[in-house]
């Protein structure tokens, strides 16, 4: 990373969330100043988000702005006050299925909110901008593994469409304002603090209580699961490289685990980790859900030095241990 001020601020949007809080903790551990922005939206409960932030809130290098990224004035005020050198934009309405119920909310937060941040970054001379995109932009592409230059013109959910649109608006801002921007396509992230709506978290709770798991489809759909520590490492590497004159000023990177696992295998792994045979209720595939994801990591390996290390089994063990340590479950 081209060296900026020693006290340079990194703004992390969505800092109270699953990925945002983990990124924040790592930046703080490295001695950086972090300003978090989050509106504690009710997609899941505030208690979980406060727990995510507990470590950061106790550290002097951290400030939190409770604000909605749709509120343009609040975003501009925050940038004027803190002048962030780096923006790591993770705040979003996430989740495929709820985006089908309320697409207007998804476009307002994921697109209008992103434009507010881009405008504020340009106005205040930020030096780099990272945008959280998603493997969902690949839709039901047949060619695997998915590579960054593959066509991504056929999203199959409003959520995926907002992420692709976010990448496009980032490209336009880079072109017009020369702001270095990297778009990071995360592939199904799991581990401690995982969002409660995501399958691994839901299934760990259901299996531990001896309740039935809803399995959508025949169990053969597959995902390239990525452990949270690997994602954090990828985000920090991207931060180091964004703005490096040896790399393009606008670039898309896959951050995946590169080992796709079927839904049935994932459920079996949960059973092994919890020590209880899962009982499964088979249901039809859900609209918006893609058949498979699988990241081609050639570009992120070559250009960022990214390399995922944690297997699904090891990662689920660590997520399960965290659920028990935080008292979310009686065992």
Ligand X SMILES: NC(=O)c1ccc[n+]([C@@H]2O[C@H](COP(=O)([O-])OP(=O)(O)OC[C@H]3O[C@@H](n4cnc5c(N)ncnc54)[C@H](O)[C@@H]3O)[C@@H](O)[C@H]2O)c1
Residue 38 or residue 167: which is nearer to ligand X going by CB? 38
Nearest to 6, CA basis, from 43, 32, 38, 40: 32
Q: Is 225 a catalytic residue?
A: no
Residue with the CB atom nearest ligand X in the bound state? 17
Do 228 and 192 meet the contact criterion of CB atoms below 8 Å apart?
A: yes
**Residue 106 Cβ, how far from ligand X at the closest point, in Å?**
10
Residue 188 or residue 310: which is nearer to ligand X going by CB? 188
Residue 199 or residue 267: which is nearer to ligand X going by CB? 199
**Residue 290 Cβ, how far from ligand X at the closest point, in Å?**
12
**Residue 76 Cβ, how far from ligand X at the closest point, in Å?**
14
List beta partners, residue 220: none
Which residues sit at the interface with ligand X, rule CB under 6 A?
14, 16-20, 38-41, 43, 49, 68-70, 90-94, 109, 113, 132, 134, 186, 188-189, 195
Do 152 and 185 meet the contact criterion of CB atoms below 8 Å apart?
A: no
Do 232 and 29 meet the contact criterion of CB atoms below 8 Å apart?
A: no
- Measure CA 152 to chain center: 19
Q: What is the 3-state secondary structure (H, E, C) of the chain?
A: CCCCCCCCEEEEECCCCHHHHHHHHHHHHCCCEEEEEECCCCCCCHHHHHHHHHHHHCCCCEEEEECCCCCHHHHHHHHHHHCCCEEEECCCCCCHHHHHHCHHHHHHHHHHHHHHHHHHHHHCCCCEEEEEEEHHHHCCCCCCCECCCCCCCCCCCHHHHHHHHHHHHHHHHHHHHCCCEEEEEECCEECCCCCCCCHHHHHHHHHHCCCEEEEECCCCCEECCEEHHHHHHHHHHHHHHCCCCCCCCEEEEEECCCCCEEHHHHHHHHHHHHCCCCEEEEECCCCCCCCECCECCHHHHHHHCCCCCCCHHHHHHHHHHHHHHCCCCCC
**Residue 202 Cβ, how far from ligand X at the closest point, in Å?**
13
Residue 88 or residue 267: which is nearer to ligand X going by CB? 88
**Residue 28 Cβ, how far from ligand X at the closest point, in Å?**
17
Residue 43 or residue 322: which is nearer to ligand X going by CB? 43
**Residue 172 Cβ, how far from ligand X at the closest point, in Å?**
19
Catalytic residue among 159, 173, 225, 253: 159
Residues that are catalytic: 159
């Amino acid at each position: 990373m081209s060296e900026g001020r020693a006290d340079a601020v990194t703004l992390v949007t969505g800092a109270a969330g699953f990925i945002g809080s983990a990124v924040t903790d790592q930046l703080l551990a490295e001695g950086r100043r972090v300003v978090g922005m989050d509106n504690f939206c009710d997609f899941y409960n505030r208690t979980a988000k406060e727990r995510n932030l507990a470590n950061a809130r106790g550290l002097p290098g951290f400030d939190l702005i409770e604000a909605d990224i749709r509120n343009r004035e609040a975003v501009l005020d925050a940038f004027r006050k803190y002048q962030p050198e780096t923006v790591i934009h993770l705040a979003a309405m996430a989740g495929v299925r709820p985006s089908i119920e309320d697409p207007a909310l998804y476009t307002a937060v994921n697109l209008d909110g992103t434009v507010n941040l881009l405008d504020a970054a340009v106005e205040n001379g930020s030096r780099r901008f990272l945008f959280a995109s998603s493997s969902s932009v690949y839709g039901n592409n047949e060619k695997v593994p998915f590579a960054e230059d593959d066509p991504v013109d056929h999203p199959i959910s409003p959520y995926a469409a907002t992420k692709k649109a976010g990448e496009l608006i980032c490209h336009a801002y880079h072109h017009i304002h020369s702001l270095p921007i990297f778009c990071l396509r995360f592939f199904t992230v799991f581990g401690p603090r995982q969002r409660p709506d995501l399958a691994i978290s839901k299934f760990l709770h259901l299996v531990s209580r001896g309740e039935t798991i809803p399995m959508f489809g025949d169990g053969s759909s597959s995902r390239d699961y990525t452990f949270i520590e690997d994602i954090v490492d990828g985000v920090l590497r991207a931060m180091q490289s964004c703005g490096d004159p040896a790399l393009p000023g606008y670039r898309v990177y896959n951050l995946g685990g590169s080992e796709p696992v079927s839904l049935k295998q994932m459920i079996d792994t949960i059973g092994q980790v919890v020590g209880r045979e899962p009982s499964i209720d088979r249901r039809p595939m859900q609209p918006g859900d893609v058949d498979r994801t699988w990241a081609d990591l050639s570009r992120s390996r070559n250009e960022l030095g990214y390399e995922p290390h944690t297997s699904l089994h090891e990662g689920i063990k660590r997520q399960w241990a965290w659920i028990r340590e935080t008292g979310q479950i009686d065992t």
